[in-house]
């Protein structure tokens, strides 16, 4: 039973939120040479609870709308399969999703009390968008935008909780993390295209069509790299942030894999896997680069 819950929460995808919080904390350490351990622990708990909530509610609504029964299941897309397989009751998944949303909201409310209006705005956006993500947001074609904004807000919110300030530097960090997260959702929506479209969803891939969308892939890593290089050149990001450029070969491999197999679901799996690796490794190198620069005062 526990393994089933871990499966539907999609633990490996929670790493995106871990990276986002880590970037915010690392940038505070780089700029202010301080880390509030208790606040950082609570931030991790709150963000992970909210992330688990959106994943659970997404599985619930995909099942209720019949999307999961139409979507081809792969290791990288098509939902967790937990509800179509009858491993959990839909109502239980919905309730646990709401419980996680409440837990994340309570932790967020604590930071609203201690840190004020900026956190209130971020928390309000998080609560509304998480609850409506799998219905209103994805139906309006804003899924990728939501994920990008969500990732950026986690970085900015973590930094603000630690420092009570907002700076241009953290905007560069937020954009980078947001784009990396959005890329994973974008490429995973290719195999879901037909099922999503039949049930009224409007992802970016559906809006553009698969043939055009496959070329849009390159925009995501380009924005991430341009943001990092520009940040370093303008001294808004530390020099060792350039470690992220080591993942260029992974991005290229994923992009060309998508170009060749954008309409062949099973053959597309390696490209989706490489996109996930690109996103996570780039994010991890970003954190490591900030930490190294802080240690050596660069």
Residue 72 in tokens: 């081809």
Interior angle at CA 227, CA 271 and CA 174, nearest 5:
85
Angle among Cα 224, 229, 231 to the nearest 5 degrees reads 95
Q: What is the mean pLDDT of residues 93-118?
A: 97
> Given this model, what pLDDT does residue 45 score?
98
Domain ranges of the chain: 2-295
Does 72 have pLDDT greater than 90? no
Question: What would the two tokens of residue 242 be?
Answer: 């350039």
Tell whether the model's pLDDT for residue 202 goes beyond 90.
no
Question: Residue 284 has what pLDDT?
Answer: 98
Return the higher-pLDDT residue of 63 and 139.
63
pLDDT(189) > 80 = yes
Per-residue model confidence (pLDDT) at position 65: 87
* Alpha-helical regions (H) of the chain: 2-9, 15-32, 37-64, 90-115, 117-132, 138-139, 143-163, 168-188, 193-198, 204-208, 210-216, 219-233, 248-261, 265-295
164: number of Cβ within 10 Å = 12
> Rounded to two decimals, what is the model's pTM?
0.94
> Average pLDDT for residues 62-77, to the nearest whole number?
81
Mean pLDDT of 77-96: 90
The tokens for 66 are: 């019949």
Instruction: Tell whether the model's pLDDT for residue 102 goes beyond 80.
Output: yes
Share of the chain above pLDDT 90, in %: 78
pLDDT at 298 over 80: no
pLDDT score at 2: 87
């Amino acid at each position: 039973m526990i393994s089933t819950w871990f499966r539907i929460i999609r633990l490996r995808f929670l790493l995106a939120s871990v990276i986002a919080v880590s970037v915010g904390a690392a940038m505070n350490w780089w700029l202010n040479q301080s880390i509030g351990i208790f606040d950082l622990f609570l931030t991790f708990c709150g963000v992970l609870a909210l992330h688990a909530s959106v994943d659970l509610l997404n599985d619930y609504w995909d099942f209720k709308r019949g999307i999961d029964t139409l979507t081809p299941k792969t290791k990288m897309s098509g939902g967790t399969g937990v509800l179509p397989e009858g491993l959990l009751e839909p109502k239980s998944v919905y309730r646990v999703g709401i419980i996680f949303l409440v837990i994340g909201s309570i932790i967020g409310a604590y930071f609203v009390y201690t840190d004020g209006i900026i956190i209130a705005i971020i928390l309000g956006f998080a609560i509304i968008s998480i609850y409506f993500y799998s219905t209103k947001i994805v139906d309006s074609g804003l899924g990728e935008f939501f994920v990008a904004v969500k990732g950026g807000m986690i970085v900015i919110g973590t930094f603000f909780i630690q420092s009570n300030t907002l700076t241009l530097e953290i905007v560069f960090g937020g954009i980078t993390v947001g784009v990396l997260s959005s890329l994973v959702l974008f490429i995973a929506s290719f195999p879901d295209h037909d099922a999503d479209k039949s049930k009224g969803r409007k992802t970016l891939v559906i809006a553009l069509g698969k043939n055009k969308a496959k070329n849009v892939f390159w925009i995501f890593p380009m924005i991430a790299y341009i943001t990092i290089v520009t940040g370093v050149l303008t001294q808004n990001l530390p020099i060792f942030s350039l470690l992220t450029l080591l993942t260029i070969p992974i991005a290229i491999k994923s992009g060309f894999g998508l170009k060749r197999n954008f309409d062949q679901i099973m053959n597309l799996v390696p490209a989706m896997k490489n996109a996930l690796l690109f996103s996570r490794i780039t994010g991890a190198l970003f954190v490591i680069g900030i930490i190294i620069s802080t240690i050596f005062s660069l």
